[in-house]
């Protein structure tokens, strides 16, 4: 009896520990990076908008806070989008347009912006919105006591002041082109509520989670942790009240559950993954769903760690890209649901996209030739060798992303054709990210995706200054490119800046720090009763105010 | 008895301490950290470093451990690293009722369904009934929980929408008990299946064991009818070992909850555990690990106390 008890106790401990371990090792969370759905808009509408109805949207992942100066995740950003307005927002061509600002003037040196605010805008508690609110909000991330992660977007501000109750003047340290689309898109917070909270403690303010108040089309109602966030329409919204009464942002554990719940009618709107497209199209045929598709503002790539001597020579990296049949990858891995990428820019950002960069289309013969030029010769087992070292490396990617896992295998086979040996290694997301992006960069090659922002500045990813502590974890470095990147943000004329960015794209494409693979498509799937849904690359729930639900 | 319980509790202390050291080490030595989601070109890497520093994650693991232990001894599980401005205790408390409800209902379901079947098959050994029950319960043991969950979900929620596909209540509808029960049935049943098969086998063999005893034979010889013997004399004695399983089932429910809660979108601590593990929310992981370890210890203690209650012959 005694023996069996201790055995049971031992077993129980094993159960507990294995619980921890299995929880650590499980699959099916996808990265936040490429899950942002950024797409161009398509309008679908039939008949006259009707008011009323409740919308349930599904999301993988929980929000963390509803304060735009502290949140870093997509769900929080989605809900902040319902509740708050920025000074500016973007139109369908990703150009800045006024949101709380009616208009703005820029001084000729590009340093001083004067914003004229819309009149008659009220906070959701009835108090009037004024210029002081803008000054207050932008000063949060500029404060020494600020503890959030959003400071870098506000670093360029030298001075900000309210000229009168409806005019704000912001002076920059130096011309900063992304200012209007990036910095000015942050939600404005009410000074009359948060003004007394010390900035040191603002990350923990009740306002952020229990009682956020904004100027937006929807008012916060309730957040049930792990279940949903609910908002209701703001009848006094300055741009006219929304059509849909309430939006419930339902939190669902994973993509499979999301799809199941959509099929069961528990969710009206969701992002549809490429891998589920067939199921989605089936539902469309049954009249149970509508799908909208456009190019995502993302790209997927294979990055090469240039600290590894294997990848130092640009010829080698070009050869690796030549050896990849990207058309075949898109066909076999994505079911054709994407478009070949040759640059780090997106075709959606038309004014800054260079379609004529050097491209390395599938050509294994050329790949072999380039590798031979770089001194690599086939060894006895067919694998290339140089100075007694084999061309052999591991290619890492994160678990749970089927497309990336398959790319790793396909790339392995394609590279084998040219005598390069790659071993796929699949790791859990958090572990993978730490190994790849932080010192000492424990990877040879990795498959990842970037979700691009509205502004096409490539500095954070490719500048050599960002190698040690930044996101340039492949350690790409080119002085000429560094110079152009430093220049790009200081040119306020969009056409001129576009030219510089196009040059950068061409240069980076030539150097191939990444094998740029493809731009995936983004899909949204929704209940056919939902009308006027607008899909936009840069913003989820674009113009949510104008969406409406067909009653019966 | 009292001294036995005190002794057991005293033994539990070093045990829990050991579990906490091992878990803490495993969790912190696993690669990755809570900033793995801060991969945004608009977030400066220095902010990531500042975050790690602010939460003391750059200190040696043993110092972090002692800080955590000291905090925990004062009854403070700390703050979540992911849910901003929320304490771990309030996070767990907000999820606990859902998990408790699921656990209690599925435990009841497991007992209510499996014990009668076990007895049924014990009283008719080597008949078709027995073989059917045995086959079904072996299938139950062999089938993974998540698979049963997915099949039931596909069948009863998507193809024949009798039950909801997940969640604890219908959104945008007024509260009703029936609605809650409606949402509870599938996940509770799936969670119960994990233990149902074993319980059936257990109560069957226990009953067969008892029915072979001399006193049953004596009772039968004295002319008591079959069913009376079984239920009056046999049941009580055969249930004894079965009841003690209650204590041992509790921890297995928490393990099962991680799977079932994520399939059925049931916002309990299992789902919290899963999210915390992915996001490396260390304080939450540690708190939940310690809670389940404590439950295991308590579960065992309850099992032993129940032994004493159902069988007065046991002395401590």
Percent of chain B with pLDDT over 70: 97
A contacts of B37 (beta carbons < 8 Å): 32, 72-73
Give the tens place of pLDDT for each residue, B95-121: 989 998 998 899 889 889 988 898 888
pLDDT in tens, B118-160: 888 888 888 999 999 989 888 888 888 889 999 999 999 888 8
What's the CA gap between B98 and B220, in Å, rounded? 48
Q: What is the mean pLDDT of chain B?
A: 86
Please give, rounded to a whole number of angstroms, the shortest distance from the CA of A257 to a CA of chain B: 7
Of residues B309 and A149, the one with the higher pLDDT is A149
Say how many residues make up chain A.
Answer: 552
Is A150:A141 a contact under the CB 8 Å cutoff? Answer: yes
Residue A16 reports pLDDT greater than 50? no
pLDDT for residue B39 is more than 90: no
Task: State residue A521's pLDDT score.
Answer: 94
| Segment 450-489 of chain A within 8 Å of chain B by CB | 453, 460-461, 466, 469-471
pLDDT surpassing 80 at residue B40: no
Q: For chain A, what is the mean pLDDT?
A: 89
pLDDT tens-digit map of A386-443: 998 999 999 999 998 888 999 999 999 999 999 999 999 999 888 898 899 888 999 9
Beta bridge partners of A516: A301
pLDDT of A148 reads: 86
- Cβ neighbours of B251 in A, within 8 Å: 12, 15-16
Residues whose CB falls within 8 Å of the CB of residue A194, separated by 6 or more in sequence, listed in order: A136, A202, A205, A207
Name beta bridge partners: A422: A393
The shortest C-alpha distance from B233 to chain A (Å) reads: 23
Determine how many CB atoms are found less than 10 A away from the CB of residue B233. Answer: 19
Is residue A498 helix, strand or coil? helix
If one compares B217 and A478, the residue with the highest pLDDT of the two is A478
pLDDT computed for residue A39 by the predictor: 37
* A14 pLDDT above the threshold of 60: no
pLDDT at position A69 is: 95
Distances (CA, A) of A155 to A143, A158, A183: 10, 8, 10
| Residue A169 and residue A112 in contact, taking contact as beta carbons nearer than 8 Å | yes
Instruction: State mean pLDDT over A182-201.
Output: 95
pLDDT at position A10 over 50:
no
User: Which stretches of A512-551 are DSSP H helices?
Assistant: none
Subunit contact A16:B251, Cβ cutoff 8 A: yes
- Chain B residue numbers with beta carbons less than 8 Å from the beta carbon of A24 are 27, 30, 277
Give B 10-39 residues with CB within 8 A of chain A.
15, 19, 22-23, 26-27, 30-33, 36-39
List, for residues A152-174, the tens digit of each pLDDT value. 899 999 999 999 999 999 999 99
All residues of chain A having their beta carbon less than 8 Å from the beta carbon of residue B43 are 72, 149-150, 152
pLDDT band of A308, cuts 50, 70, 90: very high
Taking the C-alpha atoms of residue B296 and residue B288, their distance in angstroms, rounded to an integer, is 12
* Rounded Cα distance, B60 and A33, in Å: 30
Q: How confident is the model at residue A27 (pLDDT cuts 50, 70, 90)?
A: very low
Please, what is the Cα angle at A269 between A47 and A26, to 5 degrees? Answer: 170
- The answer on pLDDT for A205 being more than 60 is yes
Give contacts of B278 with chain A, Cβ < 8 Å: 26, 29, 429-430
Contact B84 A204 (CB under 8 A): yes
The predicted-structure confidence for B183-201, as pLDDT tens digits, reads as follows 999 999 999 888 888 888 8
Question: Of all residues in chain A, what percent carry a pLDDT higher than 90?
Answer: 75
User: Which tokens sit at A134?
Assistant: 């803008």
The reported pLDDT for the residue numbered B7 is: 87
Contact indicator for A38, A536 with CB cutoff of 8 Å: yes
Interchain contact, B285 vs A20, CB within 8 Å: yes
Residue A46's pLDDT is what? Answer: 61
B95: which chain A residues are within 8 Å (Cβ-Cβ)?
225-226
Strand pairing report for A112-117 and A88-90: unpaired
What is the per-residue pLDDT for A43? 46
Q: What is the pLDDT of residues A242-260, one digit of tens each?
A: 999 999 999 998 888 899 9
Cα separation of A296 and A523, whole Å? Answer: 9
pLDDT for the residue B37: 67
* pLDDT of amino acid A492: 85
């Amino acid at each position: 009896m005694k023996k069996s008890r201790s055995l049971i106790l031992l077993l129980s401990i094993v159960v507990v520990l294995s619980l921890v371990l299995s929880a650590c090792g499980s699959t099916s969370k996808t990265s936040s990076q490429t899950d942002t759905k950024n797409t161009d808009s398509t309008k679908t509408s039939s008949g006259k908008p009707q008011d009323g109805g409740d919308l349930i949207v599904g999301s993988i992942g929980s929000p963390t806070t509803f304060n735009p100066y502290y949140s870093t995740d997509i769900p929080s950003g989605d809900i902040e989008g319902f509740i708050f307005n920025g000074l500016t927002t973007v139109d369908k061509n990703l150009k800045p347009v006024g949101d709380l600002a009616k208009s703005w003037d820029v001084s000729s040196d590009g340093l001083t912006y004067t914003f004229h605010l819309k009149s008659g805008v009220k906070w959701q508690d009835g108090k009037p919105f004024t210029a002081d609110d803008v000054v207050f909000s932008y000063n949060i991330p500029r404060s020494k006591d600020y503890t959030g992660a959003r400071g870098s977007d506000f670093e360029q501000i030298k001075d900000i002041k309210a000229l009168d109750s409806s005019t704000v003047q912001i002076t920059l340290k130096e011309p900063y082109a992304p200012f209007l689309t990036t910095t000015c898109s942050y939600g404005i917070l009410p000074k009359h509520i948060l003004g007394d909270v010390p900035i040191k403690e603002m990350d923990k303010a009740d306002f952020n989670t229990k009682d956020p108040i904004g100027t937006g089309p929807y008012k916060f109602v309730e957040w049930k942790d792990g279940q949903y966030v609910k908002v209701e329409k703001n009848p006094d919204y300055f741009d006219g009240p929304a059509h849909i009464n309430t939006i419930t942002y339902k939190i669902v554990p994973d993509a499979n559950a999301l799809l199941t719940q959509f099929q069961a009618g528990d969710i009206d709107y969701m992002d549809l993954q490429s891998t589920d497209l067939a199921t989605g199209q089936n539902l469309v045929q049954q009249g149970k769903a509508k799908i909208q598709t456009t190019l995502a503002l993302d790209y997927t790539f294979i990055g090469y760690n240039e600290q590894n001597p294997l990848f130092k020579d640009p010829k080698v990296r070009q050869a690796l890209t030549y050896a990849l049949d990207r058309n075949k990858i898109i066909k076999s891995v994505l079911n054709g649901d994407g478009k070949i990428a040759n640059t780090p820019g997106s075709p959606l950002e038309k004014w800054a996209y260079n379609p004529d960069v050097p491209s390395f289309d599938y050509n294994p013969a050329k790949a072999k030739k380039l590798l031979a030029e770089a001194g690599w010769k086939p060894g006895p087992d067919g694998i290339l060798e140089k100075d007694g070292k084999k061309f052999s490396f591991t290619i890492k990617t994160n678990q749970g992303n089927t497309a990336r896992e398959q790319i790793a295998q396909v790339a392995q086979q394609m590279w084998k054709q040219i005598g390069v040996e790659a071993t796929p290694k699949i790791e859990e997301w958090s572990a993978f990210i730490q190994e790849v992006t932080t010192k000492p960069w424990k990877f040879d090659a990795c498959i990842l995706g970037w979700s691009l922002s509205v502004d096409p500045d490539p500095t954070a990813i490719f500048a050599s200054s960002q190698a040690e502590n930044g996101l340039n974890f492949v350690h790409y470095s080119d002085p000429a490119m560094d110079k152009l990147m430093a220049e790009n943000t200081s040119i306020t004329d969009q056409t001129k800046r576009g030219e510089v960015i196009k040059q950068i794209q061409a240069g980076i494409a030539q150097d191939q720090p990444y094998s740029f693979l493809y731009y995936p498509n983004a899909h949204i799937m929704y209940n056919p009763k939902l009308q006027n849904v607008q899909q936009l690359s840069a913003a989820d729930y674009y113009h949510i105010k104008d969406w409406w639900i067909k009653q019966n | 008895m009292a001294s036995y319980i005190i002794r057991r509790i005293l033994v539990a202390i070093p045990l829990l301490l050991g579990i906490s050291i091992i878990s803490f080490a495993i969790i912190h030595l696993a690669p990755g950290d809570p900033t793995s989601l801060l991969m945004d070109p608009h977030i400066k890497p220095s902010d990531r470093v500042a975050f790690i520093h602010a939460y003391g994650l750059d200190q040696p693991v043993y110092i972090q451990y002692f800080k955590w232990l000291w905090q925990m001894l004062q009854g403070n599980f700390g703050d979540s690293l992911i849910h901003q401005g929320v304490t771990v205790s309030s996070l767990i408390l907000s999820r606990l009722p859902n998990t408790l409800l699921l656990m209690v209902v599925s435990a009841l379901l497991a007992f209510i369904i499996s014990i009668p079947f076990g007895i049924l098959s014990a009283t008719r050994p080597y008949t078709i009934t027995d073989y059917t029950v045995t086959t079904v319960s072996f299938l139950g043991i062999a089938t993974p929980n998540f698979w049963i969950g997915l099949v039931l979900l596909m069948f009863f929620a998507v193809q024949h929408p009798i039950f909801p596909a997940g969640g604890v209540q219908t959104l945008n509808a007024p509260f009703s008990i029936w609605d809650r029960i409606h949402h509870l049935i599938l996940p509770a049943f799936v969670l119960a299946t994990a233990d149902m098969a074993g319980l059936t086998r257990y109560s069957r063999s226990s009953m067969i064991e008892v029915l072979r005893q001399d006193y049953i034979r004596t009772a039968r010889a004295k002319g008591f009818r079959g069913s009376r013997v079984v239920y009056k004399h046999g049941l009580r004695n055969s249930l004894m070992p079965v009841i003690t399983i209650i204590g041992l089932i509790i921890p297995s429910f928490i393990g099962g909850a991680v799977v079932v809660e994520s399939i059925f979108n049931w916002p309990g601590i299992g789902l919290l555990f899963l999210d915390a593990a992915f996001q490396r929310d260390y304080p939450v992981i540690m708190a939940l690990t310690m809670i389940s370890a404590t439950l295991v210890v308590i579960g065992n203690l309850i099992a032993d106390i129940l032994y004493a209650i159902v069988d007065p012959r046991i002395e401590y």
